[in-house]
Amino acid sequence: MAKPTELRAAEVDDSRYRLLVDAITDYAIYMLDADGLVTSWNPGAERFKGYEAGEIIGQHFSVFYTEEERAAGVPREALATAAREGRFEREGWRVRKDGSHFWAHVIIDPIRDPSGALVGYAKVTRDLTERKAAEQTLRRSEEQFRLLVQSVTDYAIYMLDPEGHVTSWNSGAERIKGYKADEVIGRHFSSFYTEEDREIGLPRSGLGAAKEHGRWETEGWRVRKDGSRFWAHVVIDAIYDDLGGIVGFAKVTRDITERMETQRALDETREALFQAQKLEAVGQLTGGVAHDFNNLLMAVQGSIELAKKRAVNDPKLMGYLENAMEGARRGAVLTQRMLAFARKQELHVEAVDLHSLVRGMQPFIQRSIGPTIRVSIRVPSNLPRVRTDPSQLEAALLNLAVNARDAMPEGGALIISARKVRISRAAEAPLKPGEYVCVSVVDTGVGMDEETLAKATDPFFTTKGVGKGTGLGLSMVHGLATQSGGAMRIESTLGGGTSIDLWLPAAKASGPASRQSALDVGVAPNSPPLTILAVDDDPLVLANTAALAEDLGHTVVVASSAQDALTLLPDHQGLDLVITDQAMPDMTGVQLAAEIHSLRPGLPVIIATGFAELSSEAAAGLPRLSKPFSQGALALAINSAVAK
């Protein structure tokens, strides 16, 4: 029998435990008897479940369960599990007095007496509704994020473990790289790199950079499942745990091949525009320089011609003058090439029989390129005539032949051929639809690499040694073809020879044409003495024109501008002819001719010009004299003008 002191101590302990349990409000702590009836109730239980002690003690604890769980026998099974296993622990929905549900964490422990007999249960319940809501919110957020990532198809978004193995795979990755998730998860991401990048360790260095800096961004070629390549923009972000350790990487890849191609096309277009603008600027400069150089050649050539007439009895002096005249001729040829590049040379377009022209040049071409090169001419006689300047075409073919010779220092073959071509649509830009003759000059020489080929028609570009080429040959050929209404194309490979095609428009009608060059015309039979008004703003050219005409027996009145010419006109009623420069300040030669014809109808006017600055419409009906002209060309022009 317990002593009174022991009973009082036990009562004190029970009182302390009750005070402790009653002080807890975050947990529902109560007792059940062996049948599950509530036998005690703490304030925490009252707060969670809404029942006061007097309302719930004596009732079965199953009232806290949902109707579905009661029907399924869950309360009974919970007590049986606690009795059998010594503990029951579970989470689930429970019901308050007002019928509302809350998410509860439940523990049921059996209570046994000293003999081991079951006398009841201790039940502890915690309200986890807020945590459950937070977990559901997090789960929904994660699901939404997963759906978001999976719905992205323009970006490959996937995860890597710390070693670089794929751990997740979105639909964008499948679309871009071609792998399904079950084909790629677990593989190392280096399989997406090119063999060259793997050999230099780029995947490893990329992960290393992401580890060190937290992020790595780059662009480069990547490989799809089928082996095809695409240009990718790649970002790798390191993923850290709470302690700062690397737990993996997030990798985002975008296929920007189309953007790269677009950018490259844009860059090429810009470069082409820049080159076109540069060539246009050089062409304008070249045209202006050549025009001024023509005027200088006029003075030099005219003075030499007059000096030669007075030095006929001095062979030594005559030799010097011949050398000077040859220099002037070469200068004129160079000027023509410069103007051809600038597309401003004065072309004497006519219907040219290509078969006769090339056959006639064959012996000269063979002598020019030497015996080590075989020349083959394959130009049919039944080709239509072409519209171009025959002298310029001869110079162009000779230039191409000499270039071919220089490309075959050990000898080889040169083939000049031609064929008729019809362009039915604007597919052969910049050729317009119509009939053409394509002249091809093909050699078996060293050829050109891509860089040289790209610069072949640039002005002053040459692969020849210093003093062996002006760099204007192909530019002149290109200018001749373009100004004739055709085009020039070059195909060449290093070690594989060169083929140059010259497309010239076919002539609708043919007829004989003069083939004399203005530099080579002899002095024509002189016309009766005339009174001529010479107009030019360049004093050297004006003096030269006057001297040449006076040497032909004519009387010359000079004017240094169009306005001076109009002022002199009333005082010289006996004028027979006017020779005027075209490019003058304030008033052009064509404009001056119009003024003269309004004042003196029927007075012939010859336009002297250094390049094709006259449109055919503006100069309609006006004879032209191309600078630099010889005394013979001047005589022919005078005779022709006054004979009309």
Query: Contacts for 96-105 with beta carbons within 8 Å, 24 or more apart?
Result: 96/48, 96/49, 96/50, 97/49, 97/50, 97/51, 97/55, 98/50, 101/66, 102/48, 102/127, 102/129, 103/127, 103/128, 103/129, 103/131, 103/132, 104/48, 104/128
Dihedral angle at the C-alpha atoms of 77, 81, 83, 89, nearest 10 degrees? -110
CATH, domain 350-505, list 3.20.20.70, 3.40.50.1000, 3.40.50.300, 3.30.565.10:
3.30.565.10
Residue 430, preceding bond cis, omega within 30 degrees?
yes
Q: What is the pLDDT of residue 511?
A: 44
Q: What residues pair up with 155 in beta bridges, in sequence order?
A: 254
- 509 near 351, Cβ under 8 Å? yes
CA distance 474 to 441: 12
Closest CA to 495 of 548, 452, 536: 452
CA distance 632 to 518: 8
Domain 152-255: homologous superfamily in CATH = PAS domain (3.30.450.20)
Neighbours of 409 (CB within 10 A): 10
Closest CA to 391 of 42, 158, 607, 626: 626
CA distance 28 to 104: 10
Dihedral angle at the C-alpha atoms of 130, 135, 138, 143, nearest 10 degrees? -140
CA distance 74 to 68: 9
Q: Provide CATH code, domain 11-129.
A: 3.30.450.20
Q: What is the pLDDT of residue 163?
A: 93
The two domains 350-505 and 531-643 share their CATH topology (first three levels equal): no
Q: What is the pLDDT of residue 620?
A: 57
Q: What is the pLDDT of residue 515?
A: 41
CA distance 473 to 402: 10
Instruction: Please give the structure tokens belonging to residue 120.
Output: 């009841």
| 354-369 vs 390-406: helix crossing angle, rounded to 10 | 40
* Mean pLDDT (10-residue bins), the chain, 644 residues: 48 52 72 92 87 92 93 93 92 91 92 90 88 74 64 82 91 90 92 93 93 92 93 92 88 89 82 67 60 72 79 76 76 62 61 88 81 90 89 81 86 92 66 88 87 61 43 66 84 88 80 41 62 91 89 92 92 91 87 91 87 50 80 86 78
CATH architecture of 531-643: 3-Layer(aba) Sandwich (3.40)
- Residue 133: phi and psi, rounded to 5, are -65, -40
Closest CA to 462 of 472, 450, 454: 472
All structural domains of the chain with their residue ranges: 11-129, 152-255, 283-341, 350-505, 531-643
Q: What is the pLDDT of residue 470?
A: 40
